[in-house]
Amino acid sequence: MDIKYVSTTCPYCGTGCGFNLVVRNGKVFDVAHWQRAPVNGGKLCPKGRYAHEFINSPDRLTKPLIKKDGTFVEATWDEAYDLIAEKFGSYKPDEMACLSSARASNEENYLMQKFARVALKTPHVDHCARLCHASTVAGLAAVFGSGAMTNSIKDITESKCIFILGSNTFEQHPLIARSVIRARGDGAKVIVADPRNTPTARQADLYMPFVSGTDVAILNGLMQEIIKNGWEDREFIKKRTKDFEKLREVVMKDAYSLENVSKISGIPVESLRTAAGWIAQAEVATLIYSMGITQHTVGVDNVKSTANLMMLTGNLGKPGGGVNPLRGQNNVQGACDMGALPNVYSGYQKVTDEATREKMMEAWGVDDIAEGKVGYTVTEMINILADNPGELRCMYIMGENPMLSDPDIQHVEEGLRNLEFLVVQDIFLTETARLADVVLPAACYAEKDGTQTNTERRVQRWRKAQDPPGEAKPDWQILCDLGRRMGYGKQFAFESPEAIFAEVAAVTPSYHGMSYGRLDPDGLHWPCPTAEHPGTAILHREKFAMPDGLGVFSAIEWKPPAEVPDAEYPFVLTTGRVIWQWHTGTMTRRSRSLEKEAPIGWIEINLEDAKALGIRDDEVVRASTRRGSIDIPARVTPEIIRGVMFIPFHYKEHPANMLTHNALDPIAKIPEFKACAVKVEKIVEA
Ligand SMILES: Nc1nc2c(c(=O)[nH]1)N[C@H]1C(S)=C(S)[C@@H](COP(=O)(O)OP(=O)(O)OC[C@H]3O[C@@H](n4cnc5c(=O)[nH]c(N)nc54)[C@H](O)[C@@H]3O)O[C@H]1N2
Ligand SMILES: Nc1nc2c(c(=O)[nH]1)N[C@H]1C(S)=C(S)[C@@H](COP(=O)(O)OP(=O)(O)OC[C@H]3O[C@@H](n4cnc5c(=O)[nH]c(N)nc54)[C@H](O)[C@@H]3O)O[C@H]1N2
Ligand code: SF4
Ligand SMILES: [Mo]
């Protein structure tokens, strides 16, 4: 028997844990701890521990499929490529759009944006970061000049006060939660604010339940209390920031007195006062946030407010401090870094800057690429498809499943059905793939080499452990094949991911100093500008990445969510995740050990609310919003604040996104997944 261990990086969350895939006679059959792994030192959460289980699922796509008269027929790669190249060649650039994938490697994301811009000449390329941290990228870039975690995961252990707002760290980034536990063991105070008493909240020294959508009011209230007590860090404010007076003017308003904030949010005044004191008076404090902050029509405002609080208290540019947005997907940081976004090339170089565009054309050896204008975001693409049919006619989706993950699924389906030609490239036949004209079978993480960039900007390797099933191919290879078919032989001549990475390093300033050789054994944090540079674990140490080096305070007023409860839809619906499942479930629901822990969806309803509605625990109820209705089992619990209900969005049987609202943040274009108005009723048998 031939057994080998192949060390690689977890394909689930942005923590970036390392483990060994155990391979027997050429097939992966288990995961084993890799003690040397830099982020997690061998420890894993259940998803990492069972990350082998879906790989050899009998449901894997193994052959290209072409839809003929409404049914899929197996095809050869040549047939599929010929059809795609012919179709892609028949549309105008502005009629085509591409979705890249935070599940795929840096190399693959780089190639997808290059394919869109060079081969299709379309500016319309985006990916699921839009649904996730688009507000972070826009918000933190506006105030610090860089939209990423300011400190590293390990650095959290140095903190003396950890404020977790809108992140269920213990379920969604379990191996980052480990740093929180360590810091707490060393005496750090932990504050958690969340509408639900999550496993994260249960670890807190101070837990503040509150009503979804009131974050800016809470943050402004904390800042008012800090300024009133003279706890702000005047030296930091003077030396490192600007526009403090503008902030002061807003947060000192009566509207943000602790009494008023308490009325808006539901958090007792005493808790707010304690939190303000702990954050301001700690030797060093850090703020951790995730989707509770970003997924709002005021997502960018929320993000800027978190930055306000940490600048006010002088907690940036030092160990144990920072504003730390936890990035979600394994490689969402990398997909953004690689320029799979409609406004930037790799390294956040603006498409609207003509000199940069010329530089890219020269690097890519072409005399024309997509126009230097900002393309459509995912959410805009779907709106255009549904509302202005004919404007976008053709789409190429790699590794995303918008038919379950985008808001207001009926609207998404209507939009995708308006496409004349849809190509979906995935490892399984997803709800989205079923709507495609051509489905391309991709290799999964265990079947290819590549790199991915975790939430702390650490670039790490994936290593091939087995061959893909059937005729499936790595995404990078499919993109190269298609690029060549479209007449760009030289631009897509890559023979390996390593060769693609060399081009990434050449054209991306923050990755200039990286190469595969340098990524072993611990990876490298960007920015890493030269071949000698050790990488950068903590950003903004001396100055912010702004032209004048100063962090910018923003004056932000609280605004309620786009849709608030009324007589007909009297509750706030919020949505999210559980530790055992991953997004649209394509992988975790095919992992026996994970699926058995959480096989069905539910709606969380507060005990008192349930009593008033006459609803019992486990009873199937009807949840409805202005978008649609689903029938779903009730989980009646004291662990969610009154007036708010929660549904995890993993389950196709009870799709939360039938209900969610397609209202967008005006800047980031992120949808408000975290708050809309819902009603819940008993189902009366006819
Ligand atoms: N097991 C598992 N882990 C995951 C994922 C997964 O699908 N499964 N997905 C990954 C991805 S892509 C991401 S982006 C991250 C997301 O990670 P998180 O953001 O931690 O996860 P969510 O459950 O979406 O939301 C976090 C918390 O926000 C709270 N919340 C709801 N409304 C509000 C509000 O208005 N304000 C505030 N402040 N909080 C609110 C919810 O109660 C919830 O506990 O997780 C990553 N990790
Ligand atoms: N209601 C609600 N909706 C949400 C959210 C929420 O909190 N509430 N959160 C949003 C967030 S933060 C996110 S990130 C999105 C996620 O939205 P999606 O990215 O659409 O969700 P996934 O299920 O992760 O889809 C990834 C797809 O990639 C495929 N895949 C995996 N590996 C590979 C590979 O190597 N190659 C290829 N080609 N395909 C691969 C998987 O099978 C799967 O179909 O969901 C968003 N939707
Ligand atoms: S914490 Fe994230 S990266 Fe680590 S094992 Fe769990 S899912 Fe994988
Ligand atoms: Mo995400």
Q: Are 123 and 395 in contact (CB under 8 A)?
A: no
From residue 158, give the alpha-carbon distance in Å to each of 22, 39, 167, 612: 35, 15, 19, 46
- Burial class of residue 642 in the structure, from the number of CB atoms within 10 Å of its CB (0-12 exposed, 13-18 middle, 19+ buried): middle
Euclidean distance between CA atoms 168 and 47, whole angstroms: 16
State the distance from the centre of ligand 1 to the C-alpha of 35, rounded, in angstroms. 28
Give φ, ψ of 605 to 5 degrees: -130, 135
Please tell me the distance from the alpha carbon of residue 482 to that of residue 494, in angstroms, as a whole number: 12
Q: Whose CA is nearest to atom 7 of ligand 1?
A: 582
Distance 569 CA to ligand 2 centre (A): 29
Please name which of 31, 99, 64 lies closest in space to residue 440, comparing C-alpha atoms.
64
394-398 sheet: strands from edge to edge: 71-74, 65-68, 438-441, 421-426, 394-398, 96-99, 125-126
Separation CA 453–CA 501 (nearest Å): 13
Å from CA of 400 to ligand 2 middle: 5
Answer whether 621's CB lies under 8 Å from 683's CB: yes
- In the chain, the amino acid numbered 47 is K
Close Cβ partners of 120 (under 8 Å, ≥ 6 residues apart): 88, 93, 96, 98, 370, 396, 486
Atom of ligand 3 nearest to the CA of 12: 7
Which two structure tokens, joined as six digits, stand for 509? 């300033």
Q: Does CATH number 3.20.20.140 belong to domain 134-325?
A: no
45 CA distance to ligand 3 centroid (A)?
A: 6
Q: Please provide the CATH number assigned to the domain covering 571-682.
A: 2.40.40.20
Is the separation of the CB atoms in 68 and 435 below 8 Å?
A: no
Query: From the CA of 153, how far away is ligand 3's center (Å)?
Result: 13
Give the pLDDT confidence score for residue 147 in this predicted structure: 85
Ligand nearest to the CA of 670: 2
Structure tokens at 159: 């903190």
What is the residue type of 201? A
Q: Is the CB of 103 under 6 A from ligand 1?
A: no
Give me the residues paired with residue 4 across strands. 23
Under CATH, domain 3-49 is a member of which superfamily? ADC-like domains (2.20.25.90)
Q: 643, 571 in Cβ contact below 8 A?
A: yes
CB-CB contact of 152 with 525 (8 Å): yes
Which residue of 131, 194, 452, 477 sits with most ligand 2 atoms within 8 Å of its CB, as the best mutation to test the pocket?
Answer: 131
Å from CA of 639 to ligand 4 middle: 24
Taking the CA of 172 as reference, the closest ligand is 1
Checking DSSP bridges between strand 285-289 and strand 161-165, what pairing results, if any? parallel
pLDDT in tens, 111-156: 999 999 999 999 999 999 999 999 999 999 999 998 888 999 999 9
Would you state the structure tokens that stand for residue 473, as one six-digit string?
A: 């191919």
Longest dimension (CA), the chain: 73
CA-derived radius of gyration, the chain: 24
Q: Quote the CA–CA distance of 173 and 200 in Å, as a whole number.
A: 10
Q: How far apart are CA 414 and CA 419, in angstroms?
A: 9
Q: Which CATH number fits domain 65-131+330-525: 2.40.110.10, 3.40.50.720, 1.10.275.10, 3.40.50.740?
A: 3.40.50.740
Binding site membership of 174 for ligand 3 (Cβ less than 6 Å) = yes
- 363 exposure class (CB count in 10 Å sphere: 0-12, 13-18, 19+): middle
pLDDT number for residue 1: 76
Distance from Cα 239 to the centre of ligand 2, integer Å: 42
**Domains in the chain: boundaries:** 3-49, 65-131+330-525, 134-325, 571-682
Ligand 3 atom at minimum distance from 51 CA: 8
Q: H or E segment at 677? A: strand 676-682
Exposure string of 584-617, with b = 16+ CB inside 10 Å and e = fewer, is bbbbbbbbeebbeebeebbbbbbeebbeebebee
Alpha helix positions (H), 208-294? 215-228, 234-240, 244-251, 258-265, 269-281, 291-294
Q: Which amino acid is at 625?
A: T
Instruction: Please name the residue that has the structure tokens 């058995």.
Output: 596
Q: Which tokens belong to 358?
A: 């010329």
Give residue 267 CA to ligand 2 midpoint distance, Å.
33
Q: How far is CA 685 from CA 92, 621, 682, in A?
A: 53, 11, 9
Q: How far apart are CA 574 and CA 565, in angstroms?
A: 12
- The residue whose CB lies within 8 Å of the most ligand 3 atoms, and thus the one to mutate among 10, 52, 180, is 10
- How far is the centre of ligand 4, averaged over its atoms, from the C-alpha of 369 (Å)? 30
The kind and range of the H/E element at 99 are strand 96-99
Q: Which ligand 2 atom is nearest residue 102's CA?
A: 19
pLDDT in tens, 399-441: 999 999 999 999 999 999 999 999 999 999 999 999 999 999 9
Do 571-682 and 65-131+330-525 have the same topology in CATH?
no
Low-confidence ranges of the chain (pLDDT < 70): 686
- Best of 12, 198, 378, 405 for a ligand 2 pocket test (most atoms within 8 Å of beta carbon): 405
Cα separation, 28 vs 467, whole angstroms: 10
159 CB within 6 A, ligand 1: no
Using CA positions, which residue lies closest to atom 4 of ligand 3? 17
Residue 172, CA atoms < 13 Å, CB-side half-sphere: 24
Ligand nearest to the backbone CA of 577 = 1
Strand 620-624, strand 571-576: pairing: unpaired
Closest to 593 in 3D by CA, of 173, 47, 19, 59: 47
Note the pLDDT tens digit of each residue in 589-648.
999 999 999 999 999 999 999 999 999 999 999 999 999 999 999 999 999 999 999 999
CA nearest ligand 1 atom 18, residue: 167
Alpha-carbon span 373 to 569, nearest angstrom: 41
Residues sharing a CB contact under 8 Å with residue 227, sequence separation 6 or more, in sequence order:
248, 251, 252, 312
Ligand 1: residue whose CA is nearest its atom 46: 328
Say how many Å lie between the first and final Cα of the chain, rounded: 61
CB-CB contact of 251 with 218 (8 Å): no
Atom 8 of ligand 3, nearest CA residue:
48
Grouping H, G, I as helix, E, B as strand and the rest as coil, residue 190 is: strand
Q: List the structure tokens of 668.
A: 């980031």
User: CA angle, 634 as apex, 633 and 635 as ends, to 5°?
Assistant: 120
Q: What is the DSSP letter of 473?
A: B
